[in-house]
Structure 1
Amino acid sequence: MDLQTFLARRGGAARRSDLLRAGFLRPTLEAAVDAGRLHRPQRGVYAMRDADDGVLAAFRYNGRLTCVSAARFYSLWALHPPQEVHLSCGNGVPKSGVIDHAPCMHAPDPALPVAGLADVLLHAVRCLPELEALALVQSATGRGQISADFLRSKLVGNRNGRARAVLDLLIPRADSVLEILAHTHFVRAGLKVRMHVHLPGVGEVDCLVEECLVVELDGSTHFEPRQVKKDQRRNNAGMLGGHLTLRYYYDDVVHRPAAMVEQVQAVLRLRALGRFAPE
């Protein structure tokens, strides 16, 4: 493996000790710096010009990326990009623009300055707003990367009550971040909701609310012409089966959840009044 490929797989930067251990010679590193292919952002670290900012920050502060700053390295759902760098440095010294988490207790990433998945999620449920933490944990547990029971075993005591409450919102399966968020909003509004229900003639729907109202949560692929036609035909089939359908998009679920819930409740009230039946 050449030097550029080695660094690219590590976020574009690495410590000199790791490079030497991998078999690269010091003259090779210096030649790359002289030629402008690499630079030394700090002592003992070599980096490509397009190195990951988070990785560089981890080296700068001698820490490991964690919480939402580590989400992309584990392909976790993150609702919002972090405004500050979340690191586990372990020394408690304040750092401008850095949220310093507790020391890591589990094996870290072997190649990157990134905390292990368990520490990333434990830091997240103690740090982030509830729904942001839930998105990260749902994506990891839903894919079988880690179990909710394992995380819960690490969150004992009264001080971790808020963190355990995030785990209580998890569902067995969520195919997108919209599903876990919508499920949470509907349940908290007192609505009965079942996820991934198969309806005759329609197929699997995202949510079935109060056994009569289908709620579909559409991502970007649903704007493709072929998918639009398929969705409209599914809506028609659902109507023939006695099920009304509402569709919501990312902005609705993430940024306007109260309006989404109010519409669902309004349709249910109209249905109860017989407004969708002939007079």
Structure 2
Amino acid sequence: MLRNLLCGAQNAVMELVRILESRGGVARRRTLLQLGFTAAELRKGVAAGIVRNPAQGVYAIPEADPQYLAAANRHGLLTCVSAASYYRLWRLHDHRELHLQLKPGVHHAGVVAHRTSRFRSAQTAPVAALADVLSDALRCLPEPEALVMVQSAVGRGEIAQEFLHRNLPGKRNAKARKVLALAYGRADSVLEVLARSHFIKAGIGFEQHVQIPGIGEVDFVLEGFLIVELDGATHFEARGVKRDRRRDNASVLRGNPVLRYFYDDVVHHPERMMSQIHGVLDRGRELGISRPRRR
């Protein structure tokens, strides 16, 4: 009987570890008790050194994600840019501050508190619902950062743009809705998202993902003649460089000038990029080859 009891206790501890692993490595005591574990089993897990008890009411495995652990310790949920990795959303920058959904009146040093919680999270890890994460980002982050996060979710069909719009009512969300309006269907990269937003705000007519005979698909055609290509990491491979140069030559022979931009241009120096684009478009208008088109 003693042997059976020992085996039962060991199995309970292993099950506790499995449950914690499925939740990003951390869970609160109340949740674990609701799942059927006893207080004695939790104590045994800690005594065995397999499970940690880093804060009152919090249990975690040693490999627990630090952000999940920080959220659980503060009775919060990761949201905004801090939840981007969980949902595999695009990000432009890392942030030192932790963005958490917290109850009103709760404050923690080094934490950006988000108070709105409109949707119940179905995630087992301490992460807010996707709709709340994106809404928080739209209200909190600079336009480019919020836009790329929203675009990655909208583009993959994980959330509807119209649904987010409906849940951002009133004057206080006007700025968020304006950023949301810049999102669209297909986007192959962060660079496309940002470049497209610059073209829209500049009032430039463009087509995107255009198939051109003898050249293939190009990223953008502005005002019917100027090709703009955005180069990611794969374009720097030897084969990619040769392919791109030959495509550029073919484009020029067709009468389409080509401008290429890199991550640094689009993300860090968009004003320089747009100045060059305006210069070519102005020249095209002077020569009568510009054909502004509706977006």
TM-score, normalised on structure 1? Answer: 0.89
Contact 2:151 2:193 in 1 (8 A): yes
- CA shift, 1:181, in A, is 0.3
CA RMSD of aligned residues (A): 2.4
The corresponding residue for 2:173 is 160
Give runs of aligned pairs for residues 85-234 of structure 1, distance below 5 A: 85-234=98-247
Secondary structure (helix, strand or coil) at the match of 2:60 reads strand
Q: 1:89–1:100: 8 Å Cα contact kept in structure 2?
A: yes
Alpha-carbon deviations, 1:22-61, whole Å to 9, x = none? 5666666545544544322112222233322221121111
Q: Report the residue type matching 1:84 in the other structure.
A: E
Deviation per CA, 1:213-261: give whole Å up to 9, x if none. Answer: 1111121122222222222222222222221212111111111111111
Deviation at 1:111, TM superposition (A): 0.5
SS of aligned partner of 2:71:
helix
1:112 to partner: Cα distance: 0.9
Q: For the structure 1 residues 118 and 224, does the alpha-carbon distance in structure 2 shift closer, same or farther, using more than 3 Å as the test?
A: same
- For these two proteins, the number of residue pairs brought into alignment is 275
Q: Cα–Cα, structure 1 residues 19 and 164, in superposed 2: closer, same or farther, change >3 Å?
A: same
The DSSP-based 3-state class of the residue aligned with 2:86 is: helix
Query: Greater CA deviation, 21-30 or 187-196?
Result: 21-30
Q: Can you give the 5+ residue segments of structure 2 that lack an aligned partner in the other structure?
A: 1-13, 288-295
Is 1:73–2:86 an aligned residue pair?
Answer: yes
Distance 1:91 1:158, change over 3 A: closer
Amino acid at match of 2:192: E
Asked if the contact 2:219–2:229 (Cα under 8 Å) also holds between the matched residues in 1, the reply is yes
Instruction: State the shift of 1:98 in Å.
Output: 1.0
Q: For residue 96 of structure 2, give the secondary structure of its aligned residue in structure 1.
A: coil
Contact between 1:92 and 1:100, CA under 8 Å: does it hold in 2? no
Which runs of 5 or more structure 1 residues have no equivalent in the other structure? Answer: 275-279
- SS where residue 74 of structure 1 aligns? coil
Q: What is the identity percentage for the equivalent residue pairs of Structure 1 and Structure 2?
A: 51
Please say if residues 229 and 261 of structure 2, whose CA atoms lie closer than 8 Å, have aligned partners that are also in contact: yes
- Specify the code of the residue in structure 1 equivalent to 2:277: V
| Equivalent AA in structure 2 for residue 188 of structure 1 | K
Change (3 A) 1:63 1:239: same
Query: Partners of 2:20 and 2:269 in 1: how far apart?
Result: 41
Of stretches 45-54 and 119-128 in structure 1, the one that deviates more from structure 2 is 45-54
Relative to structure 1, is the Cα distance of residues 4 and 241 closer, same or farther in structure 2, using a 3 angstrom cutoff?
farther
Do the aligned partners of 2:58 and 2:73 also contact (CA within 8 Å) in 1? Answer: no
- State how far apart, in whole Å, the 1-side matches of 2:114 and 2:123 are: 20
Are residues 47 and 270 of structure 1, via their aligned partners in 2, closer, same or farther at CA, if it must alter by over 3 Å?
A: same
